[in-house]
Amino acid sequence: MAATTHTVSNQAPPLVGHDVYGGDHALTEGVERHLASADPELLGDVREELTTLGRAAGSAQAQEWGEQANAHPPELRTHDRYGNRIDEVDFHPAWHRLLGHAVTSGLTDAWGRPAGHLRRAAGFFVWSQAEAGHGCPVSMTHAAVPALRADPELAAEWEPRLTSHVYERGLRPAGEKAGVLFGMGMTEKQGGSDVRANTTSAAALDASGEYLLTGHKWFCSAPMCDGFLVLAQAPGGLTCFLVPRVLPDGTRNVFAIQRLKEKLGNRSNASSEVEFDGTWARRVGEEGRGVRTIIEMVAATRLDCVIGSASLMRQALTQAVHHTEHRSAFGAPLIDQPLMRNVLADLALESEAATTLTLRLAAAYDAGTDQEKAFLRLAVPAAKYWVTKRCTPMVAEALECLGGNGYVEESGMPRLLRESPLNSIWEGSGNVQALDVLRALQREPHALNAFLTEVGLARGADHRLDSAIKGLLTELADLDGIEARARRVVERMALVLQGSLLVRWAPPAVADAFCASRLGGDWGAAFGTLPHSLDLGAVVERARIAH
């Protein structure tokens, strides 16, 4: 009789059937904290809404959809069987299920609901943990609303469709659909982030705001959306336009998809190059004010980059904690061993700092006061720079917590790692964010005052935070070589802001460990180098999935 060699032991069970929202202490506490101060009557409804979404995100079904959408990436069909140009992209059914669930859960609807940005940010954070790629059209649809408000007539026509909780796939006239999705086309091959170098041209048809566009867009994500906000050179300068995929009479607009990009990650999402050749468009805002018009959309998508990275970080942490809870080595569970505990605590600090900052930004959007708008002017690009930069090394370390199992596709960790650099690159890479912060510091002194007021709310509570604030002020007072130092300055701004938030709101063990390492300098160059004297057990315990 053959020996039994395939008895499975000492392997972590599948991480399914948990509540992604309710199991996250930092997230639930943050949502309820901000709601309690803004609109406490919403607490029960929002808790139920996000718990339902959290259970769906942690289900075996949602995880299967995520795997299928990435295993079967979108396919371009430029022509039908008869040779007619159709420019369509076919997606696996799992993509539509993920996207449909996002829309019906209100993840494109923030601008009109009470506490809309907070509840939508928390929902986006939760549902993105099921699969990140479909978040691109969700984000752009949500973010198109403030840009369209530059033209009240267009906003009245399109905003109800953009904020609808109805998902309707397929290309049809927007007026025939209960809900639509939007994309964006800014970058061109000769310009990249330098959108003022764009060469796509816009010729006015008449004085009604209708134009024909001619040119090429180098990076247009989600080309099966119903409409796009794009930049083109009009006679009066760079201008923002709305380009529908299907015209009101049912004919297809000229929107020639040249190819789909083969990307490092984000494989479930179609990113394309498109050609305009007499493409009908409607002007949004005034000629020559294209950047100013579309910047509201860019700001909102930048916040979504922060949310997306924070979501990836939490998912990676959850996987690492789950694995080490169930995996033993050298006679004890990995999670109980001092060196692994140090690594997990360090990862947990990074995740909680990102989550807490994300929710603070969303709450500022909801408040909408001049003070909060000024705060966001610096806080959003600083957060976009830092949180998205921290995502990749953190996900890589979390993968290593699973050892060789983490390097295998079935674990899901390689997909997280491939996805992790995306948010740092899209919507303006690190240098663009750093330069944007400098621009605000130089031109908008009220933004710095608002930022320092926020940070100063924790002054006196931790000597390391106080010292870091003092050091930041010294950095900001020295303008010599400021552009070459921009990354250093913005990093320090983000860390000081995170430290201030954690000192005010996180448990003492978390705030103490963050200030000691990130602000006090008692930290190595890799994760897992926290001071051993800290209460690391309490930090790790907080990161476990709450049941």
In the chain, which segments carry CATH 1.20.140.10? 292-543
The answer on pLDDT for 201 being more than 70 is yes
The answer on pLDDT for 397 being more than 60 is yes
Which pLDDT does position 1 carry in this prediction?
Answer: 57
CB 226 within 8 A of CB 170: no
Phi, psi of 475 (to 5 degrees): -60, -45
Q: Residues with Cβ < 8 Å from 192, sequence gap 6 or more?
A: 218
Topology given in CATH for the domain delimited by 27-288: Butyryl-CoA Dehydrogenase, subunit A; domain 2 (2.40.110)
Dihedral Cα 288, 303, 470, 394, nearest 10 deg: -130
The Cα angle at residue 402 between residues 121 and 52, in degrees rounded to 5: 30
1-27: average pLDDT: 90
What span, in angstroms and rounded, lies between the C-alpha atoms of 388 and 160?
31
Structure tokens at 227: 């409409």
The answer on pLDDT for 147 being more than 80 is yes
Which pLDDT does position 479 carry in this prediction?
Answer: 79
Which pLDDT does position 67 carry in this prediction?
Answer: 98
pTM, two decimal places: 0.97
What span, in angstroms and rounded, lies between the C-alpha atoms of 169 and 166?
10
Structure tokens at 120: 């939508």
The answer on pLDDT for 51 being more than 60 is yes
Buried b (16+ CB within 10 A) or exposed e, 301-340: bbbbbbbbbbbbbbbbbbbbbbbbbebeeeeeebbebeeb
In the chain, which segments carry CATH 2.40.110.20? 27-288
Residue 34: pLDDT band with limits 50, 70, 90: very high
Query: What percentage of the chain reaches a pLDDT higher than 70?
Result: 99
Q: Which residue has the tokens 């931790």?
A: 462
Comparing 92-96, 207-211, 341-345, 529-533, the range with the smallest average pLDDT is 207-211
Phi, psi of 25 (to 5 degrees): -60, -45
The answer on pLDDT for 365 being more than 60 is yes
229-256: average pLDDT: 97
The answer on pLDDT for 109 being more than 80 is yes
CA 40 to centroid of chain Cα atoms: 26
Q: Which of the 8 DSSP states describes residue 252?
A: B
The Cα angle at residue 223 between residues 113 and 91, in degrees rounded to 5: 95
527-547: average pLDDT: 95
pLDDT per position as a tens digit, 272-315:
999 999 999 999 999 999 999 999 999 999 999 999 999 999 99
Topology given in CATH for the domain delimited by 292-543: Butyryl-CoA Dehydrogenase, subunit A; domain 3 (1.20.140)
Q: Residues with Cβ < 8 Å from 257, sequence gap 6 or more?
A: 76, 78, 87, 89, 223, 272, 273, 274
3-state secondary structure 145-167: HHHHCCCHHHHHHHHHHHCCCCC
The answer on pLDDT for 28 being more than 70 is yes
Name the average pLDDT for the chain. Answer: 96
474 CB-side CA count, 13 A: 6
